Amino acid sequence: MPASATAVRSVRTVGRLGVALAIATALVVVFLALIVLTDGAGSGWAAWAGALAAGAAVALRRGRHRGWRARLASFVPVVVAAALTASVCVPTVPTARRHPSALPFVTAQHWRLATGSRVAVYHYPPGPSGTRHRIPLVYLNGGPARGISLLDHRFLRLLAQRGYDVYAYEQAGGGRSDLLPMSQYTITRSVRDLGAFLDRLGRGSADVLGFSAGAVVLTRALADPRLAARLHRAVIAEPGPMDGPTARLDGPKGRPSARGLAPAPHGPRSTHLPRYAVAFGLMRLGLLTPDNGLIGQAEGDNAFTAADLGGDTASAYCARDAHRIPVENTARNFSFSPAASLRVEQTVKDSPSLAPRLRHSRTPAMLMIAECSSQVRRWETAVLAADPAIERTQYLPRVGHHMWNGLDDNDARAIAVVTAFLQGKPAPLPNYPTRAGIPAFLRARR
């Protein structure tokens, strides 16, 4: 066969392959568009059927007036696209909720709150040594809708050893707590659950330590006079945005974190699987609602792994700690509800300014800020500016967002800051930044 004929045949073959690849790619794009338009109805099968019908129509049109082999060949890209997109519709984890296994060092109790939430509660009674403190201490973990990490449990035990009667509960949808209907995940519900928890505790007023998303719940509780009356002292540690106007603030964060520097976390990732990569990706982009029909809430919880949060975990540590980030959790204890978390965050973004109500707060409070915080600084200083009852701010050097992390003396320094405030003793660190010093603090980019 002449070389020219061979070259022509090769060009035609490459051209046919290019057309087939373009058709398969176009059908995948159509499938994703239909996933968005149908909100993932029927676990994605509605979008799959629509894309398959569109592909079949294209194949039939291409095969008209051609031989049977050519007609069959026109269906090859449709079959390839159908196989690829079907993988998005088939669950690979159980679709019923799997709770983390029991912890060996503390028993999870389950309390039904007056709000209807059924939450997992952990109690660390005061240790035998040291002064016993009369006021109970309640811990609100970060998340939202995330289980309490083993690092946090370790920190709570250290507080109990110093005489504090420590209670913690995993907010609805997180950890060993029960799920809620998706529409009920709101920041308002989270605040009401705190009030209901304090009522169920039945110990009068309580000290509350809120971290990250838990600090947002606590901040909003301080703006509710009826609930604030139940709070003895409040520790607001590394808060996220407290309301919609704050969520829209931008600007500098803390000193460089380990994000992008730390080694990739070990373990499986749900986002390496087509179904969950599509579902979580589209939800994160706001193209799928948290209550979508592609994956149910329980399936999403079961699929999501600690490795999926690798970048977020690294951002909670200073750059200098990038190669010694501790293991915060185990696969058996890790729990995170991405859909519920996005839903709560959205209700914060949609909420009006909290400042007018927070200005009436009278509960003694302390703000804790980390040197390498991954939070936008203006989220943190907005709380300081709005709450006149914040008595002191403690800027902790050499730590990131997760201030108590088991590295060096970080736990001891965080405990010293918290306990000094709860006991009304002089602060171990300077009061920085002050309310009047917020502009200078932001300019210094500390």
- At 181-240, the pLDDT tens digits run 999 999 999 999 999 999 999 999 999 999 999 999 999 999 999 999 999 999 999 999
C-beta neighbour count of 132 within 10 angstroms: 13
The alpha helices in 238-376, defined as continuous H runs, are 244-247, 274-284, 297-303, 310-314, 338-349, 355-358
Report how far residue 390's alpha carbon sits from residue 367's, in angstroms, rounded to the nearest whole number: 7
pLDDT of 16 > 50? The answer is: yes
State how beta strands 166-170 and 118-124 pair: antiparallel
Q: Are 127 and 161 in contact (CB under 8 A)?
A: yes
Report how far residue 17's alpha carbon sits from residue 229's, in angstroms, rounded to the nearest whole number: 71
Reported as a pLDDT band with limits 50, 70 and 90, residue 266 is confident
**Degrees, nearest 5: CA angle 254-210-305:** 75
Q: How far apart are the first and last CA of the chain?
A: 74
Report how far residue 8's alpha carbon sits from residue 254's, in angstroms, rounded to the nearest whole number: 61
Domain boundaries, the chain: 3-86, 109-266+309-444
Q: Any bridge partners for residue 212, and if so which?
A: none
Superfamily of domain 109-266+309-444: Alpha/Beta hydrolase fold, catalytic domain (3.40.50.1820)
Between these two residues, 206 and 56, which has the higher pLDDT value? 206
Report how far residue 258's alpha carbon sits from residue 27's, in angstroms, rounded to the nearest whole number: 40
Q: According to the model, what pLDDT value does residue 8 have?
A: 45
Q: Of 248, 231, 220, 250, which Cα lies nearest the Cα of 383? A: 220
**What is residue 92's three-state secondary structure?**
coil
The token pair that represents 189 in the structure block: 């519900």
The token pair that represents 160 in the structure block: 């109990």
Of 64-68, 114-118, 302-306, the poorest mean pLDDT is in 64-68
Q: Across 228-340, where does the E strand assignment appear?
A: 231-237
Report how far residue 192's alpha carbon sits from residue 341's, in angstroms, rounded to the nearest whole number: 17
What is the residue type of 67? G
Q: According to the model, what pLDDT value does residue 63 have?
A: 66
The H or E element spanning position 206 is strand 206-211
pLDDT of 116 > 70? The answer is: yes
The token pair that represents 71 in the structure block: 């007609």
CA distances to 98, 189, 190, 271, 320 from 290, rounded to whole Å, are 19, 17, 17, 17, 36
State how beta strands 365-372 and 390-400 pair: parallel
- At 26-52, the pLDDT tens digits run 999 999 999 999 999 999 999 999 999
Q: Of 374, 254, 259, which Cα lies nearest the Cα of 319? A: 259
Report the sign of the C-alpha dihedral through residues 410, 415, 421, 424, in that order: negative
Q: Of 300, 280, 281, 267, which Cα lies nearest the Cα of 92? A: 300
pTM of the model: 0.92
**What is residue 233's three-state secondary structure?**
strand
Report how far residue 317's alpha carbon sits from residue 2's, in angstroms, rounded to the nearest whole number: 66
Reported as a pLDDT band with limits 50, 70 and 90, residue 6 is low
Report how far residue 190's alpha carbon sits from residue 37's, in angstroms, rounded to the nearest whole number: 31
Long-range CB pairs of 43-50, under 8 A, 24+ apart, other chains included: 43/89, 43/91, 43/293, 43/294, 43/295, 44/85, 44/88, 44/89, 44/275, 44/293, 44/294, 45/89, 46/293, 47/85, 48/82, 48/85, 48/86, 48/88, 48/89
Q: Of 243, 240, 253, 236, which Cα lies nearest the Cα of 391? A: 236
Q: Are 388 and 395 in contact (CB under 8 A)?
A: no
- At 387-434, the pLDDT tens digits run 999 999 999 999 999 999 999 999 999 999 999 999 999 999 999 999
Q: According to the model, what pLDDT value does residue 362 have?
A: 96
Reported as a pLDDT band with limits 50, 70 and 90, residue 91 is very high
- What's the mean per-residue pLDDT of the chain? 93
Report how far residue 145's alpha carbon sits from residue 119's, in angstroms, rounded to the nearest whole number: 11
Span 262-275, mean pLDDT?
A: 89
